Structure 1
């Protein structure tokens, strides 16, 4: 397919999403801040072979307060981390009281993202939102969001999650297609694909221009406990579960994925308790092994 980059273990760029190397912090925490300083994580990531890193808004804010904007930029540059993502904006489509807090976060994402050279903003839908899905209204709001972040040359990726109302690829596609923005599309996480019942064949059929990010990980064939429990405690490094990462990677390539890096997002108790060097090296090594050799 035209535009497809042949990515192999030799030339693949990997980005460590925030949770992958954040350490002993959890989505239920009041603030998402790693106990390991950004400089420590960035150095460990660089030594392991990563080419990019993701931060939560809380962690980014904390790091800017600690190092200054110029200091954060220098940390990323010194460690060869050329790809940078921020996450995750929620309630961007709401029309009630939740929107005020979402808009404040949106302004911060724009500010930090612009100053630090963010490649991509991850957005999602809260599992606490039980209102009926309105795909057209969400598409309209997603278009406005894309327009905002186009001003800082960033893409916006909507991540479907099986424990929220935008649960599957089939739910998310009409939203990004309806928005019809060049810098807007999907984040396709293998865990969300498998647990939502989406097939790899479905992934291979997604138009390439609508894939703004991919996230790799692994897990057991069946969820352990609730989907939320499985997602936040029991993900595994690629090749250590039963998702068949190479087949997923092949499906993404068949779709024509042409972004410059592949994301890796793993939330697990093992990684939370491991040292930062172990987190960075183990996940990098197991992920890169899933790609065909050059």
Structure 2
């Protein structure tokens, strides 16, 4: 894949402005149209939306209008987030199922490509892999009705923190629209190496996210991930090597970019969109200068 053929997707928090996960609000201070126009002007081909922001936007616009904004601005790849508690019982599962219905119906109407899901955030208990496998398969079957793929994010502060556990779920579920989301920050901070990624069965890698950070943790894992990520190439991560690894595994879809930073998110929207795009594209230029990594 040449750098000129790469299509980038701005994950929700890359262009959401001064908000962050589980903060006082996750609703962007920028309108959807403002974000889509800034993304288009910078060169992005995709965007992400989070459930809270999507529902807030849907109070002002019809889903058909939301879809038209994306179409008008050349956003080919859309992703929605974030589903949690999809494998539990009780009140948390009831709330999760409500989000699942709302987000999948919206995804179908606007033509989203994927739904991001997570398991056991801030939970060190051993994962119930057979239950998660079966419940993940159920989410995939629901999503398939809307033409949506389901991507499970491996995260070091969750109870699915290894490729082995992630693959046990998605490979065991064996759904054509189900797989893993590999975010570079989570891979590096979780001690998952590029050779491990390159050796994965590529059919189970459904989504990729790029980002960067300092060599050492800044605070806790959670504080580091929501306050201190850096633009690609401005930290310690070897993003070109990560790109080569996922390509070696067989991934050939769009590349997401997720920048979570207390300084970056306060920049003007157009500046955020252009800087995140340009710094990421530079990594593909660097990756193209070297042979693809061996598995």
TM-score, length-scaled by structure 2: 0.94
Q: Structure 1 CA distance, aligned partners of 2:3 and 2:277?
A: 11
1:3 aligns to what? Answer: none
Query: Residue 187 in 1 paired to residue 181 in 2?
Result: yes
**1:129: Cα distance to partner?**
3.9
Q: Structure 1 CA distance, aligned partners of 2:98 and 2:180?
A: 23
2:275 aligns to what? Answer: 282
Shift in CA distance, 209/148, structure 1 to aligned 2, threshold 3 Å:
same
Instruction: Select between 76-85 and 27-36 the one with higher mean Cα deviation.
Output: 27-36
Query: Residue 291 in 1 paired to residue 284 in 2?
Result: yes
1:82 aligns to what? Answer: 76
**1:48: Cα distance to partner?**
0.2
Instruction: Select between 43-52 and 24-33 the one with higher mean Cα deviation.
Output: 24-33
SS of the equivalent of 2:217 reads coil
Q: Structure 2 CA distance, aligned partners of 1:131 and 1:220?
A: 28
1:58 aligns to what? Answer: 52
Query: Residue 225 in 1 paired to residue 219 in 2?
Result: yes
Residue-by-residue CA offset, 1:7-53 (whole Å, 9 max, x unaligned): x2211000000010101112132441100001001000000000000
**1:285: Cα distance to partner?**
0.1
Query: Residue 266 in 1 paired to residue 259 in 2?
Result: yes
Alpha-carbon RMSD across the aligned residues, in angstroms, is 1.3
CA contact (8 A) 1:21 1:271 kept: no
2:119 aligns to what? Answer: 125
Query: Residue 207 in 1 paired to residue 201 in 2?
Result: yes
CA contact (8 A) 2:120 2:160 kept: no
Structure 1 spans left out of the alignment, 5+ residues: 1-5
Query: Residue 144 in 1 paired to residue 138 in 2?
Result: yes
1:34 aligns to what? Answer: 28
Q: Structure 2 CA distance, aligned partners of 1:248 and 1:128?
A: 26
**1:95: Cα distance to partner?**
1.8
Query: Residue 94 in 1 paired to residue 82 in 2?
Result: no
Residue-by-residue CA offset, 1:75-129 (whole Å, 9 max, x unaligned): 1011001111000100001123210000000000111011110100000024244
CA contact (8 A) 2:40 2:75 kept: yes
CA contact (8 A) 2:120 2:158 kept: yes
Could you say which structure has the greater relative contact order, defined with CA pairs below 8 angstroms and 6 or more residues apart? 1
Shift in CA distance, 201/176, structure 1 to aligned 2, threshold 3 Å:
same
1:104 aligns to what? Answer: 98
Structure 2 spans left out of the alignment, 5+ residues: 290-295
SS of the equivalent of 2:230 reads coil
1:72 aligns to what? Answer: 66
TM-score, length-scaled by structure 1: 0.95
Among candidates 165, 171, 185, match of residue 171 of structure 1: 165
Q: Structure 2 CA distance, aligned partners of 1:82 and 1:24?
A: 25
